[in-house]
Structures are given as structure tokens and as C-alpha cells.
Amino acid sequence: MKKIIFTIKERKREIAFFVLFFLIASSSFALGYLYARDFEAIPIIIEKGCES
């Protein structure tokens, strides 16, 4: 148990960067998901072109 606590204290900066990165990545994914859900686009219809 003391080894774990020592490791956490020793790597406090790296853990903080990881948590910050995880929160930013999660929030950007969630915002993108919510925005895409509200933005219902009309499906693209591809018409057959005339052949020469």
C-alpha cells in the first residue's frame, strides 16, 4: 500500500495530465455526439447520370 501511495505522489503531474486529457476527450466526444444527434441531415440521393 505504501508503494502505491509513493508512486502516486511521485507521478502526480503525469496523473493530472492524463485526467485532464481524458476529461477533454470525453467532453469533446459527448458534445459532438449531442450536436450530431440534433442535426438531422437530409440523406444524399445519388441520381444516375446520362451516359454519352
The verdict on residue 45 lying in a domain is no
For 29, half-sphere exposure in the C-beta direction (CA atoms, 13 angstrom radius) is 6
Residue 32 lies in a domain: yes
The angle that helices 12-38 and 2-10 make with each other, rounded to 10 degrees, is 70
Mean pLDDT of 30-39: 82
Could you give the CA distance from residue 8 to residue 22 in angstroms, rounded to a whole number? 18
* pLDDT for res 15: 96
Q: Which residue has the cell 441531415?
A: 41
Contacts of 8 (CB under 8 A, 6+ apart): 15
What angle is formed at CA 8 by the lines to CA 4 and CA 10, rounded to 5 degrees?
A: 115
Report the number of distinct structural domains present in the chain.
1
Query: pTM for this one?
Result: 0.59
* 44 occurs within a structural domain: no
Residue 8 located in a structural domain: yes
Structural domain span for residue 12: 2-38
Please check whether residue 51 lies inside any domain of the structure. Answer: no
pLDDT for res 52: 58
